[in-house]
Amino acid sequence: MSTHFGDRPMYIGGEFTESDSGEWMDSVNPATGEVHGRVPAGTVSDVDRAVRAAAAAQPEWGAKSVWERGDLLRKLTAEMKRRADDVLPMEAADTGNTIASLGGDIVLASGYMNFVAGLGIEIKGESVPATAEHIHFTMRQPYGVVGRIVPFNHPFLFAGAHLSAPLLAGNCVILKSPDQSPLSASIMAEICHKVLPPGVANFVSGEGIVVGDAIVRHPQVPRIGFTGSVPTGLAIQRSAAEVAVKHISLELGGKNPFIAFPDADPKAVANAAVAGMNFAWSGQSCGSTSRLMLHESIYDQVVEDIEAQVSAIKVGDPLDHNSGMGPVNSEKHYQHVTGLIESAKQEGARLVTGGSRPEGKEFEKGFWVRPTVFADVTMDMRVAREEVFGPVLSILKWSDREEVIAMANDLDMGLTAAVWTNDIKTAMDTVRRVESGCIWINGAGRHYMGTGFAGWKNSGLGREECLEEVLSYTRSKSIHIIM
């Protein structure tokens, strides 16, 4: 499980560079707790340097046709696929996600970039017959410089996917890699260096409270996209509001309900509930359906099936293709996850499986947690109300439809939800009333290109994975030709 990737520089204005401070920050292998690489500890001046490079490159980039920019995005996707053998072991070692699952990240990132590459012709205005004698129309133009801040759970996937829309729209980008798991963004920087003109895509590493805040507060960065936690999203809104009126997109946390009605097949529900937890990523997914709400008539059978499946997950080296789950991402996150596990035990939840560190010499170091299931959870418990962002499934029992809808909506988050029933009327009544931005009927977890992904309530602001995301990186102006 030991790995070493050396020093990985930032990328600003077409050059690979250290921080102005000369300082570096460690990246830790979560399977061993050992330092296995370093990235520059970026500063406010590094961010300013990146913004100036992006601003200088933007006029020429924005002057390219949407066809030219789309072609360059397609070249990026080809390079991403070509570098897969470099990305996958680094990403697995740096995040703790299993290498067997990470091939899908390359497919998703390149697939989304290819999808976006074909949307350029849709960046269009409209003609409005406001008067009979004059000509009135709208047009869309890029913001100029965009800041994108990506999370630790899928850093390469998000580095690629989150460049797509702003670049196609004619913006240049400052991308901040995550505080934890920052290494693979450097490979995306190498790919951009090979394909894009200098200054179009810039990569800055460092602590969020320094580099992220500097991006948010920079007066020449009017458009910001962030994926991460609710508290950080709220902090970004506050920081931005102190300096300017900015357009901010937020894709934040979730405590997502999975509602199973009495007519649903118990075995299918159990299979979907386990799949929806994303254990291959140690449950570290904002969309994980971590609150399973079972009707009392199928409760015992589903719990039994889930126990059998989850207890059989092989926890091990994320670089081993046979491992079903690796460690959680960092020591700080380990403390968060295990703290919520302990609170569930103390508050009376029934531990079905897991709930501790795996046994064995290979698990003595690093940030290991067994995949965990609690039954008999109630909505007054912390584990039912707080985002664990880890391998912890909470199972709740219900008997009345009004009761379960109230349970589903009884939080300030609303990212995803799943509804399982064979009755389409029941399904549609439920999805209309559940306060979530993405809902599956008889499914869980999968994203569908072009349909959009967005949170309600404190789970987000703005839509991604669709044309609306591309258009959100443009500003509209109205033109009136007086004849």
Question: How many other C-beta atoms are found inside a 10 Å radius of the C-beta of residue 482?
Answer: 8
The torsion region of residue 144 among left (phi > 0), alpha (psi -120 to 50) and beta comes to: left
Q: Which residue is listed with tokens 């680094």? A: 90
Say how far apart CA 282 and CA 181 lie, in whole Å.
15
Q: Which amino acid is at 4?
A: H
Q: Quick check: 296 and 64 in contact, CB under 8 A?
A: no
For 454, residues 6+ apart whose C-beta sits below 8 A from its C-beta are: 251, 437, 438, 460, 461, 462, 463, 464
Sequence-distant (6+) residues with CB within 8 A of 356 are 369, 370
Rounded Cα–Cα distance for residues 185 and 111 (Å): 18
Query: Catalytic pick from 79, 251, 387, 469?
Result: 251
Question: Which residue's structure tokens are 């439809």?
Answer: 401
Q: Give the separation between CA 413 and CA 179, rounded to whole angstroms.
A: 24
With H, G, I as helix, E, B as strand and everything else as coil, classify residue 288.
Answer: coil
Q: In DSSP terms, which residues pair with 29 in a beta bridge?
A: 34
Q: How many CB atoms lie within 10 A of CB 20?
A: 15
Is 192 marked active-site?
Answer: no
Separation between Cα atoms, residue 195 and residue 375, nearest integer Å: 51
Indicate which residue of 79, 91, 172, 286 is catalytic. Answer: 286
Contact between 325 and 282 under an 8 Å Cβ cutoff? The reply is yes
Report how far residue 397's alpha carbon sits from residue 416's, in angstroms, rounded to the nearest whole number.
Answer: 19
Segment (H or E) for 266 = helix 266-276
Q: Is position 286 annotated as part of the catalytic site?
A: yes
Chain centroid to Cα 364, Å, comes to: 29
Of 44, 47, 21, 24, whose CA–CA distance to 204 is shortest?
Answer: 47
Residues that are catalytic = 251, 286
